[in-house]
Amino acid sequence: MFYIDQFVYTNKMRNSHPGERLAFALATMFISVTVNQPVVHLTVVAIMVGFLAFRAKIPGYVILKLFSVPVTSLLVGVMTIAVQINRFETGMLFSMNVGSYYLGVTKASAAVAVVTLLKSLSAVSCLYFFVLTTPMIEVIYTLKLLRAPAVFLDLMMLVYRFIFIFVETAFQIYTSQSSRWGYLGFRRSIHSFGLLFANLWAKSFIKSQAIFTSLLSRGYEGELNVVTPAYNWSSSNLLLFGFIDLGLILMALYSGVVM
């Protein structure tokens, strides 16, 4: 789970302002969901994957693995759009007889399914582009720029940090239990896991108190006043992103109807 985070922190597109990547991802996502031409969708996926692989230098197998998750669920979802039920077989490319009905795929439903699949996939690729090139801290920072409520952002920041402490603590307990035969056999495993879970809560509580004490020591008064590193806008990036989106819009306009 956490190795993804590691790739995000070391990706090569990190050094410019995260806002430009967010704007690009959102604009491109908007174009992909408003447009119906598969050619545009495929181009979007290709561009985003290209950015991730060749500019951000995220290893190919990580990208492939990450895409396999939405692709599987999308395929299942799209299947239900493609397959239709009708009394007559007419117009179906292929069909199956179920009682007095026919289960089959028509040309129109197949087209809708393909467009939906590609549209979702291209939107997902835009999202992946943003989250894989932008560490969580910078995501929170961009949300701050978009004027998200401070309480929400403070919580996000603490939750994100605590996930790691939580998992680390859980692993420490697990290791110490298993080194004392805690997970030999089913019954003992269940028992040990129960202990782990209960102690994890107790430990989290103590930990949160300790953090609170240390926050107080540094003058905490109900708000996490922090300064983020200064990010620089990269004009070459902005130009490139603008050019790509313009190209996509033109491609959509000249390759058929926009819906």
Partner 1 sequence: MRYIIEAAGIDFAYMDGTKALKSLSMKIAGNQKYAIVGNNGAGKTTLFLHFNGVHQARQGELWYHGEKIDYKNSKQLKNLRKNIGVVFQNPDDQLFSASVYQDVSFGPGNLGWPEPVIRKKIEEVMRQTDTWELRDKATHFLSYGQKKRVSIAGVLAMEPEIIILDEPTAGLDPVCSGQIMTLLNEVQKKTGATIIFSTHNIDEAYAWADYVFVMHDGQIIEQGRPEDVFRKEDVLAKANLVKPWILEVCDHLAMSGKKNTQKSLPKTREELMAYLADIS
Residues lying near partner 1 in the complex (CB under 8 A) are found at 5-6, 9, 14, 135-137, 157-158, 160-161, 164-165, 168, 207, 210-211, 213-221, 224-230
Q: How far is the CB of 211 from partner 1 (least distance, A)?
A: 5
Residues 6+ apart with CB under 8 A from 180: none
Q: Determine the Cα–Cα distance for residues 147 and 162; give it in Å rounded to an integer.
A: 24
Q: How far is the CB of 208 from partner 1 (least distance, A)?
A: 10
Q: How far is the CB of 193 from partner 1 (least distance, A)?
A: 24
Q: How far is the CB of 56 from partner 1 (least distance, A)?
A: 15
Contact predicate 103/13, CB 8 Å: no
Identify the three-state secondary structure at position 235. Answer: helix
Tokens 């298993």 sit on residue? 178
In the complex with partner 1, the residue whose CB is nearer, 114 or 158, is 158
In the complex with partner 1, the residue whose CB is nearer, 42 or 155, is 155
In the complex with partner 1, the residue whose CB is nearer, 212 or 243, is 212
Q: How far is the CB of 16 from partner 1 (least distance, A)?
A: 13
Sign of the alpha-carbon torsion through 36, 45, 139, 230: negative
Count H helices, E strands: the chain?
9, 3
Residue 56 burial by Cβ neighbours in a 10 Å radius (0-12, 13-18, 19+): buried
Q: Determine the Cα–Cα distance for residues 175 and 164; give it in Å rounded to an integer.
A: 16
In the complex with partner 1, the residue whose CB is nearer, 19 or 70, is 19
In the complex with partner 1, the residue whose CB is nearer, 34 or 213, is 213
In the complex with partner 1, the residue whose CB is nearer, 16 or 86, is 16
In the complex with partner 1, the residue whose CB is nearer, 146 or 230, is 230
**Cα distance between the two ends of the chain:** 39
Nearest residue to 236 via CA among 50, 2, 55: 55
DSSP letters, 4-42, are: HHHHHHH-TTTTB-HHHHHHHHHHHHHHHHH---HHHHH
Q: How far is the CB of 222 from partner 1 (least distance, A)?
A: 10
Q: How far is the CB of 137 from partner 1 (least distance, A)?
A: 4
- The first and second tokens of residue 157, run together, are 């920041």
